[in-house]
Structure 1
Amino acid sequence: MNSHKQLKFISNISIKKPNTIINQTTVCPFCHKENLTDIFDEKGVFIFLKNKYTTFEDAFQTLIIETDSCRENISTYSEEHMRELLRFAVSHWLDMKKRDEFKSVLLFKNHGPYSGGSIAHSHMQIVGLKNINYEENLKDEFFEGLTIYETNGCVLNLSSKPKASFTEFNIIIDDLSFLDIMADNIQKIVHYILNNFYVKCDSFNLFFYDWKGKLICKAVPRFVTSPLFIGFSIGQVSNNQDKIVEHVKQLYFHDVATVL
């Protein structure tokens, strides 16, 4: 296990980062493409580039700008935009995973004031870690749960043993050929979190895993982190899981037959 290993945070760089979530008068760097540097790839409005503020030691930090508008997010994208975004992001993530210099590569997304993010403009991050293999701390149970929707090649569930939060959704696909259905389900769950969750929620994270032959996205509504988890590593799970599952089914899958 590598649970004792920690990623060193470079605080003197962090304090220089712009924050458009807390201070909405701050100029958004992603809205001014003419000032962007170290661009690796572009496709339409998607831009894959080096993160200007490298706040982690022994890591290679990159960004994917998802849209050219600060007002858009996953819940408002067209279906095709979301599908193309996921293909673009996963392709670059898997390419980085092939590089021998990294022990592991993270693909994740922060959105909202409680997500750990600083820029409101929708983006994803791909981070290559040179000395840490996060997969050593994963367990199968983190991705198991109550089935919301299942079809050939894809399962959407609500974690029965969430990794850290009260409520975690898992979108699991068998291989890359099912990326489009993963994109569709991510979009539905993000819309649910931001618009129909049982308490008001304006923040979420997406975490991606290449785990035991499956591609997995974990979507997590974010609030203030529980002190029981921070202080004692005691996880919690919502007591209304059945109601959440039925609510999501009713809103987003009422006219879709489940195929087992």
Structure 2
Amino acid sequence: MYTYMNFQTNIARTKPSTLHNKEDSCPFCDRETIFKEGVVISQDGPFLLIENKFQTLERAYQMVLVETETCQDDLSTYDKSHLHALFDFAMRNWETLESSKKYRSVIFFKNHGVHSGGSIYHAHMQMVGLYDADYREHLHPEQFSGLVIDRTPGVEFNLSTRPRGGFTEFNVVLSDRNALHKMAKYVQIAVHFLLTHMNKRYKSYNIFFYEYKGNIIAKIVLRAPGSPYLMGYSIIQVPNNLAETVQRIQSLYFSEAASM
């Protein structure tokens, strides 16, 4: 079962694309214009939640969460204080949008890289209020379980054995809101591993956030050219070296010699 939404191509054609065109100026670096336009919904230090100027989806309200003041940094390299503050700001605003009851559901995700579906290089996330659709209708518990990489009270970090889209998907499952900062660290480790050790060629990923069965879940997905098996036949491929990948991450990030 799928949910279909109308996409307004005439609006999409006017969007800048700093990922594909270096001549385009970055709209998220130009904070003076952002404030003049009056599109700021929420602000805390360097973090902004703003109205998306390009509302390409019908029956939805699209927002952008700008993570940094410049294009120089990315989630994989944020220091601890910036990382924690970002997740505090993001979760607070996501929960506020959900509890407003304006939308049937609010999707929250991040694009990074040319294969992620994004267009702007500057580090950002997106929140989209859906008036008619509930993303939870397409979720299943097995999509968030897997081989455990690490676990601390209130949060689990695993490698999916039943991915939604195939190949490499990490899950960070938060069951205790007080462990949010540990969740943020697990997400950063997954992103750093994908970009530095696993996806050097494409350097693209998505993070999808879900509220599901009382948990907050982040699914970090390696992105590369789409699989014809998935696109044409809904056949999901699962790598046969999952245990090896888990051991590699544990060695790199959770051993005594780990550098991150």
Is TM > 0.5 for Structure 1 vs Structure 2? yes
Amino acid corresponding to residue 242 of structure 1 in structure 2: A
Amino acid corresponding to residue 248 of structure 1 in structure 2: I
Matches of 2:199 and 2:121, distance apart in 1: 24
Matches of 2:114 and 2:150, distance apart in 1: 29
Amino acid corresponding to residue 178 of structure 2 in structure 1: S
Unaligned runs of 5+ in 2: none
Amino acid corresponding to residue 75 of structure 1 in structure 2: S
Amino acid corresponding to residue 8 of structure 1 in structure 2: N
The aligned residue for residue 203 of structure 2 is 202
The aligned residue for residue 183 of structure 2 is 182
1:29-68 matched pairs, under 5 angstroms: 29-36=27-34, 37=37, 38-68=39-69
2:22 counterpart SS class: coil
The aligned residue for residue 124 of structure 2 is 123
Give the paired residue count. Answer: 254
1:199 deviation in Å? 5.8
2:198 counterpart SS class: coil
Matches of 1:232 and 1:70, distance apart in 2: 39
1:175 deviation in Å? 2.6
1:201 deviation in Å? 3.8
Is residue 175–residue 213 contact of structure 1 (8 Å, CA) maintained in 2? no
Shift in alpha-carbon separation, 1:29–1:237, aligned structure 2, 3 A: same
Is residue 165–residue 220 contact of structure 1 (8 Å, CA) maintained in 2? no
Matches of 1:187 and 1:135, distance apart in 2: 25
2:42 counterpart SS class: strand
Query: Which stretch of structure 1 is more off in the superposition, 223-232 or 195-204?
Result: 195-204
Amino acid corresponding to residue 154 of structure 1 in structure 2: V
22, 25, 28: which one pairs with 1:24?
22
1:31 counterpart SS class: coil
Percent of pairs identical after alignment?
A: 40
Is residue 60–residue 127 contact of structure 1 (8 Å, CA) maintained in 2? yes
Is residue 193–residue 201 contact of structure 1 (8 Å, CA) maintained in 2? no
Is residue 115–residue 205 contact of structure 1 (8 Å, CA) maintained in 2? yes
Unaligned runs of 5+ in 1: none
Shift in alpha-carbon separation, 1:10–1:187, aligned structure 2, 3 A: same
Q: Runs of at least 4 residues of structure 1 off by over 6 A?
A: none
The aligned residue for residue 105 of structure 1 is 106
Q: Please, what TM-score do these two structures have when normalized by structure 2?
A: 0.95
2:147 counterpart SS class: strand
CA RMSD of aligned residues (A): 1.2
Is residue 166–residue 236 contact of structure 1 (8 Å, CA) maintained in 2? yes
The aligned residue for residue 148 of structure 1 is 149
The aligned residue for residue 69 of structure 1 is 70
2:127 counterpart SS class: strand
The aligned residue for residue 225 of structure 1 is 226
Query: Which stretch of structure 1 is more off in the superposition, 115-124 or 169-178?
Result: 169-178
Amino acid corresponding to residue 19 of structure 1 in structure 2: S
Q: Please, what TM-score do these two structures have when normalized by structure 1?
A: 0.95
Is residue 112–residue 204 contact of structure 2 (8 Å, CA) maintained in 1? yes
Matches of 1:198 and 1:153, distance apart in 2: 29
1:99 deviation in Å? 2.4
Query: Aligned pair 1:235/2:236, yes or no?
Result: yes
Is residue 201–residue 221 contact of structure 1 (8 Å, CA) maintained in 2? no
Query: Which stretch of structure 1 is more off in the superposition, 34-43 or 52-61?
Result: 34-43
